[in-house]
């Protein structure tokens, strides 16, 4: 597989304050990549640079072999973007939002109508096509954002916190859409605060903290690295976490303890690894 997204030693500085530092990363074509990190880690800034919305202060970014600064127009043709803050226009209908976006991308009329129908159908909004967007639920608006981002048939889709603020059923529904698009071959980069989202969706995970990429790998690689078994020990109102290569070794350790009160063993998960790495919970 070739590289869909490539960052080499990328920095972004605002008023001398580095918010992204020395970020190098390659995402293959067809990959579903999750960028995880606490508030202010630099995830949105990274997405903004990848999607030509802001320029890197230093370093190189290529999308489908096009430089994001020198060939921004070619990059824009190849990417779809669903950002947290880019909302759909509430005073237009569902169809008008799609139509407007299609015209911006100069999609010829007949093709545009066919694609609007197809993508609205795909995100199950066909029956709401004549409704004002402000009358839609949060989940429907997000689905419309996705349909709109797909209208010009991008190769790569960027999703910044795609399910934030949505109820569990709606999140699941969006996950299915995201998964299905990836199965159809679309490269995807998503940022999220939700560990379960990354675990469920992503082939590979990058953890950002304070502007730096501090960990990278598949979930199983990360679990192998940090340990698949965990011993939790209650210390007052806090828990101490100790990783072990597997559950058997975690249990063996527990068995050796003279006092097992306040101790428990369980399989580790991504959140444990995240807390170990950043010393913080995400919520």
Ligand X SMILES: Nc1ncnc2c1ncn2[C@@H]1O[C@H](COP(=O)(O)OP(=O)(O)OP(=O)(O)O)[C@@H](O)[C@H]1O
Q: Which residues bind ligand X (CB under 6 A)?
A: 14, 19, 37, 39-45
Which of 36/94 has CB closer to ligand X? 36
- DSSP label of 190: E
Which of 9/135 has CB closer to ligand X? 9
Question: Which residues, 6 or more positions from 17, have their beta carbon under 8 angstroms from its beta carbon?
Answer: none
Residue among 255, 236, 258, 260 at smallest CA distance from 244: 255
Which of 41/79 has CB closer to ligand X? 41
What is the smallest separation between the CB atom of 48 and ligand X, expressed in angstroms? Answer: 7
What is the smallest separation between the CB atom of 85 and ligand X, expressed in angstroms? Answer: 10
Query: Encoding tokens for residue 52?
Result: 């030509």
Which of 42/162 has CB closer to ligand X? 42
Q: For helices 109-122 and 94-104, what crossing angle results, to 10°? A: 130
What distance in Å separates the CA atoms of residue 32 and residue 203, rounded to the nearest whole number?
5
What is the smallest separation between the CB atom of 47 and ligand X, expressed in angstroms? Answer: 8
Which of 85/259 has CB closer to ligand X? 85
What is the smallest separation between the CB atom of 231 and ligand X, expressed in angstroms? Answer: 31
What distance in Å separates the CA atoms of residue 199 and residue 269, rounded to the nearest whole number?
9
What is the smallest separation between the CB atom of 214 and ligand X, expressed in angstroms? Answer: 13
Residue among 154, 126, 153 at smallest CA distance from 140: 126
What is the smallest separation between the CB atom of 208 and ligand X, expressed in angstroms? Answer: 6
Cα torsion through 66, 212, 185, 271, rounded to 10? -170
Which of 150/208 has CB closer to ligand X? 208
What is the smallest separation between the CB atom of 161 and ligand X, expressed in angstroms? Answer: 7
71 CB-side CA count, 13 A:
13
Which of 42/229 has CB closer to ligand X? 42
What distance in Å separates the CA atoms of residue 169 and residue 166, rounded to the nearest whole number?
8
Q: Are 226 and 273 in contact (CB under 8 A)?
A: yes
């Amino acid at each position: 597989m070739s590289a869909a997204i490539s960052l080499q030693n990328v920095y972004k500085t605002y008023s001398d304050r580095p918010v992204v530092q020395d970020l190098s990363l390659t995402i293959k074509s067809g990959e579903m990549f999750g960028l995880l990190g606490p508030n202010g880690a630099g995830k949105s800034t990274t997405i903004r640079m990848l999607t030509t919305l802001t320029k890197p202060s230093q370093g190189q970014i290529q999308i489908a072999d096009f430089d994001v600064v020198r060939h921004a127009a070619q990059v824009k043709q190849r990417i779809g973007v669903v950002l947290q803050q880019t909302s759909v226009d509430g005073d237009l209908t569902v169809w008008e939002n799609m139509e407007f976006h299609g015209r911006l991308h100069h999609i010829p009329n007949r093709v545009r109508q066919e694609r609007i129908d197809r993508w609205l159908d795909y995100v199950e909004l066909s029956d709401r096509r004549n409704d004002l967007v402000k009358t839609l639920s949060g989940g429907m608006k997000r689905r419309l954002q996705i349909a709109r981002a797909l209208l010009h048939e991008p190769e790569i889709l960027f999703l910044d916190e795609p399910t934030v603020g949505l109820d569990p059923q709606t999140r699941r529904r969006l996950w299915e859409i995201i998964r299905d698009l990836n199965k159809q071959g679309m490269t995807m980069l998503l940022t999220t605060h939700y560990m379960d989202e990354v675990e469920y969706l992503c082939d590979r995970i990058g953890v950002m903290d304070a502007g730096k990429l501090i960990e990278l790998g598949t979930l199983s690689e990360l679990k192998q690295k940090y340990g698949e078994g965990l011993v939790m020990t209650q210390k007052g109102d806090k828990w101490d976490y100790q990783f072990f290569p597997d559950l058997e070794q975690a249990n063996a350790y527990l068995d050796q303890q003279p006092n097992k009160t306040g101790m428990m063993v369980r399989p580790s998960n991504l959140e444990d690894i995240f807390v170990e790495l950043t010393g913080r919970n995400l919520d």
